[in-house]
């Protein structure tokens, strides 16, 4: 029986590349594709794929929240994150949300096939080196990794965009949220991370290798 895969990535060209790669293996079949996680949640219910291959950085609710919603509906869901991000914080948050595996888009193409097969077989699959421990961000400073863990998936997405220098309006457009909603998130994030300005958010993100 073939491994049935749902591809989730907001770039059609990227999805096409994934589909061709996976189609090169007789034992794998791509049964559906989604460009947003809202759509992916519905398609998961419709198709019940064996493995979901999901990007993290997407408009709308985003990959982390998408993982959380799918696994909340089906605790046995098998989700593989396939992302450009190789920083520890992304790996930890994806696994905490319920993902069973994490590989980067800079990995060898064959790793995607190996990871899909491993996860379909009930194993976890984390690309080598992604779980290595980081040195403390800064001696004498708060435990920022622990503070980041307190952010909700959406707060983390907003934090990442604001730290990159996007304005509240730009972040709202990127995430398909209201400007007031993003402003409220910004206030909550700064309170949780014990910072006051966007510049401090950026320094924190750089120190934690999120940017």
Residue 57 shares a structural domain with residue 159: no
Residue 84 shares a structural domain with residue 114: yes
| 3-class SS of residue 139 | coil
Backbone dihedral angles phi then psi of residue 30, each to the nearest 5 degrees: -85, 115
CA nearest to 148, candidates 105, 195, 82: 195
pLDDT score of 141 more than 70: no
CATH classification of the domain holding 163: 1.10.10.10
Structural domain includes residue 134? no
User: Mean per-residue pLDDT for 43-51?
Assistant: 96
Residue 148 shares a structural domain with residue 122: no
Sheet-wide strand order for 3-8: 28-34, 3-8, 51-54, 79-83, 101-104, 125-126
What's the pLDDT score for residue 143? 65
Residue 82 shares a structural domain with residue 159: no
CATH classification of the domain holding 97: 3.40.50.2300
Structural domain includes residue 132? no
Q: How far apart are CA 79 and CA 128, in angstroms?
A: 18
**Number of domains present in the structure of the chain:** 2
pLDDT score of 82 more than 90: yes
Query: Which domain covers residue 199, as residue numbers?
Result: 144-207
Structural domain includes residue 178? yes
Q: Where are the beta strands (DSSP E) in the chain?
A: 3-8, 28-34, 51-54, 79-83, 101-104, 125-126
What's the pLDDT score for residue 42? 94
User: Mean per-residue pLDDT for 191-210?
Assistant: 80
Residues of the chain with pLDDT > 70, as a percent, come to 92
Local confidence band at 140 (pLDDT 50, 70, 90 cut-offs): very low
What's the pLDDT score for residue 211? 65
- At a CB cut-off of 8 Å and minimum separation 6, what does 168 contact? 162, 179, 182, 183, 186
User: Taking the complete model, does pTM exceed 0.75, yes or no?
Assistant: no
pLDDT score of 147 more than 80: no
What's the pLDDT score for residue 136? 40
CA nearest to 171, candidates 153, 154, 188: 154
Structural domain includes residue 186? yes
pLDDT score of 146 more than 80: no
Q: Are strands 101-104 and 125-126 parallel, antiparallel or unpaired?
A: parallel
Structural domain includes residue 139? no
Maximum alpha-carbon separation in the chain: 55
Q: Which two tokens stand for residue 51?
A: 């493995």
CA atoms within 13 A on the CB side of 29: 8
Q: Which two tokens stand for residue 143?
A: 């435990």
| 3-class SS of residue 127 | coil
Structural domain includes residue 37? yes
* Last residue within a domain, chosen from 79, 100, 126: 126
Residues of the chain with pLDDT > 90, as a percent, come to 50
Q: What is the mean pLDDT of the chain?
A: 86
Angle at 194 between CA 189 and CA 199, to 5 degrees: 75
Structural domain includes residue 136? no
Local confidence band at 34 (pLDDT 50, 70, 90 cut-offs): very high
What's the pLDDT score for residue 51? 97
Least confident among 17-21, 58-62, 156-160: 58-62
Structural domain includes residue 19? yes
């Amino acid at each position: 029986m073939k491994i049935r895969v749902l591809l989730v990535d907001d770039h059609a060209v990227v999805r096409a590349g994934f589909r061709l790669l996976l189609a090169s293996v007789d034992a794998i079949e791509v049964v559906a594709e989604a460009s947003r996680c809202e759509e992916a949640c519905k398609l998961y219910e419709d198709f019940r794929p064996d493995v979901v291959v999901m990007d993290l950085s997407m408009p709308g609710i985003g990959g982390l929240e998408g993982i959380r919603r799918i696994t909340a509906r089906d605790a046995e869901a098998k989700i593989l994150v396939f992302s450009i991000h190789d920083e520890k914080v992304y790996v930890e948050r994806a696994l905490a949300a319920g993902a069973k595996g994490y590989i980067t888009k800079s990995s060898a193409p064959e790793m995607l096939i190996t990871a899909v097969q491993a996860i379909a077989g009930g194993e976890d699959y984390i690309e080598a080196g992604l779980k290595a421990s980081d040195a403390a961000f800064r001696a004498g400073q708060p435990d920022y990794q622990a503070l980041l863990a307190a952010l909700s998936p959406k707060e983390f997405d907003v934090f990442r965009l604001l730290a990159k220098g996007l304005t509240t309006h730009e972040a709202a457009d990127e995430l398909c949220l209201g400007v007031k909603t993003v402003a409220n998130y910004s206030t909550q994030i700064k309170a949780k991370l014990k910072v006051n300005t966007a510049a401090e958010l950026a320094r924190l993100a750089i120190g934690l290798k999120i940017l």
